[in-house]
Structure 1
C-alpha cells in the first residue's frame, strides 16, 4: 500500500509557514508581518508540535489569546497535512502532522542536510566547489601559547562559523560549503609534543578533541578543575587531558566522529555490499515505511533532526557553541539507540515485499544523521571521518 506523497515535510521552516498562514487567515494580519515564533516539538505526545504565535498576535488583533488559538486550530484542522489541532495552555496551538508528512522530514534532511540544519530551502548544488567565506578559515591551534589561548581560538572559530551560518547574507554560501563532503579519515592534526603548552596538548588529544573540549562547556573562563562530564576537564592540559586523550566512547569528540562514520558507512558501504540502497527523496512512502519511521526509536531520531535548526539559532543568538555541541551529542545518541534496536539492513535487493522499501527508508535515516553531524562538526571546525 502506498501513502500519497506529501506536498511538504514536517520541517521547522514548513511548519512555521503553515502556522503563519493559518494565523493570517484567522486575524487578517499578513503572514510576512508576524513576529518570528519558531514551532517547537510538544512534550505532550510524540509527533505533536506547538506554536506560541497566537498569543503573540492576540493584542494586535484585539482578541483573547485562547479564542484566537481556537480559531487558528480550526483553520489548521482543515489542512490535509494535519491529523489534528487543538488549543494548548494559555493560548498556544498544538497540532499533529499526518505520519507521512512527519516521515518526509527524513528525506529532506538526507537529501540536503546542510540546508536543513541551516533552515534553508534546498537549491541546486554549485557546479564547482564554493570558495571559503571571509573568516571561515580555522585558526592554527598549534601556534597558541597555552591551553587557555587554544581554547579561546577554538571557540572564536566556532562562533564565527555559526554566526555566518545563520546570517541572511551568508547562510546560503555556508550551506553550499557544508554540502561539500570530501572523504576524510581518522588522522587528526596534532602537535609534536615539544614547545608551548598548546602544541603539547594537541600531541596528547589531537585537534578534533581539543576543539570539542573547547566548545563543549558553557563557561567562558572555566574554574580550576571544572569539568563538562566525567573526567572531561573544561580546559584540558597536556598533563591532565582526562578522557579527551582517549579514543573511547567516554570522549564526546570520538562519539560524534564515530557516529558520523558509522551512519555514512552504513548507507554507503554496508548497504551497497548487500545490494541495498536509498531510493531518493520525493517518493511516496509505503505504509510499512511510515510505520518503520514512526516507531519510538525512529521517532526520537526524527525529533532530534527537527530540533537542529533551533539549536543552531540558539547557539548563534547566545554566542554559545556548546548548545550546538550538546545538540549533536543528542542526535548521535538517538541514532545509536535506534540502530541498536533494529536490524536496520535486514532486507534483500530482490525482495518483492515491503522489506526493501523499509530498509531504503531506514537508509535515509542514516544519510540524514550523517549529513547533519557532518554539517554541525564542520561548524565547530572538526573533521568528520567517512569510514569506520
Structure 2
C-alpha cells in the first residue's frame, strides 16, 4: 500500500468529527505513513489520526505515540497496522482499483482515527494489581474518486490483567501495546485489523451510505443514584456505554457504524486532503439509530464470612432500532418507524472480599457486565443459536463466578421477527 498525498498542515480536522468533538478544539495531528510508496494497491494506508486538546481523552495514548519525538513509536505503530493489513486481498473484499484510460490507479484511502482511551480499573494493592483498559478508534475508508466516505468501522482494543502482589504498571506502555499487539496483547487494534477487516461489509457503505448510529444514551431516573454508588457520574457512564455499544454492534454484525460521542456535533469536516486539490469529507446523515436505555443495576449482598460476601449484580437495558427522519439542530434525532424493541437483563454472581474490593471494583463489574450484555444482544440478532440461548438464559460459569444474560420478556416470535427486520436493513 502507498500513502495518499496528505499534508500534515491540512489534516487538522481529521479526527475531530470522528468522535464528535467540536471544531473548536484547535487541532488533531496526523501521524503520516511514508512507506509502500511504490505499490499499486487499491487501498492506500495513510496513517493514524488522533485528537488533541482539552476534550482529547487520549492522554496516555498520545504519550505512547511520542508525538514530539521523531522515530521509534510512530514507526512501530504504523508498521504494526500496515503489517496487519498486508495479507488482505482488497479485490476479494470488493475494493478494486480505479481503471482510467487503461491504467489502474488507487481508488481508496484508509486511516485509523484514535478516539478515546478508558481506564476502567487500576487497582494496585499489596496483595494484587488489577488493570482493565479500553481503547476505541475508527477505521476510516474513503473513495478518492467520488470524494465520499465509504465506511467507518469502530475498532476497540481490550486489556484485562490481574497480577499477584503490588506491581508497577506503566499505563502508557500498555496503551501502546493495545495498538501494536506487543507482549501478546491479543485484543489489540492490530489484531482487530488482521482478524476482522476482511469480513466487513464495505459494499454496504458504498451502496447505502452511512447507515447506523448509536443515539445519545437514555437512562431511568434511578441510574443517577446507581452511578453515585459506584463512584462515577451518569454522563461519564453513558459515554462509556455508548462507545461500547458502537463497537459491539459493528463487531457483531460486521457493519459500519457512525462514531459515537454523546450528542456533540458530528457535522464538521471529517478529513481534508492537501496537494493539487482538496477533498473535504463529511459524515452523511444516518438512516437508522440504535437507541439504548439504561434501566439501572442492583447489588444483592449475602455475608458469608467476616471478610467475604456473595454478590449478585443485576443490570438491565432496553435496545430499540428506529428509522431516522432527520437530525435536529440540537444534535438530537427525529425518529420515524420503530422496527426492533427488546429488554435484556444481565446477572453476575461472584465473591467480594471486603479487604480488596472497592467502588472502582464495582464500577468495572457493572461496565463489563453491560459490555458483555450488549455484545450478546447484538450477536443474537444475527445468530439464531445465540438468540435461543438468550431466551433460555445464556449462562457462563466458572468455579468462582457465574454470568447469565436473558432477553425479557422471552417472546421468541417477537425477537425472531424483529431480528429478521434488522438483518434485512443490513443487507446490501
Quickly name the TM-score band, shorter chain normalised: under 0.3
**Greater share of strand residues, 1 or 2?**
2
TM-score by length of 2: 0.22
**Greater share of helix residues, 1 or 2?**
1
Identify which of structures 1 and 2 has the higher relative contact order when contacts are C-alpha pairs closer than 8 Å and 6+ apart.
1
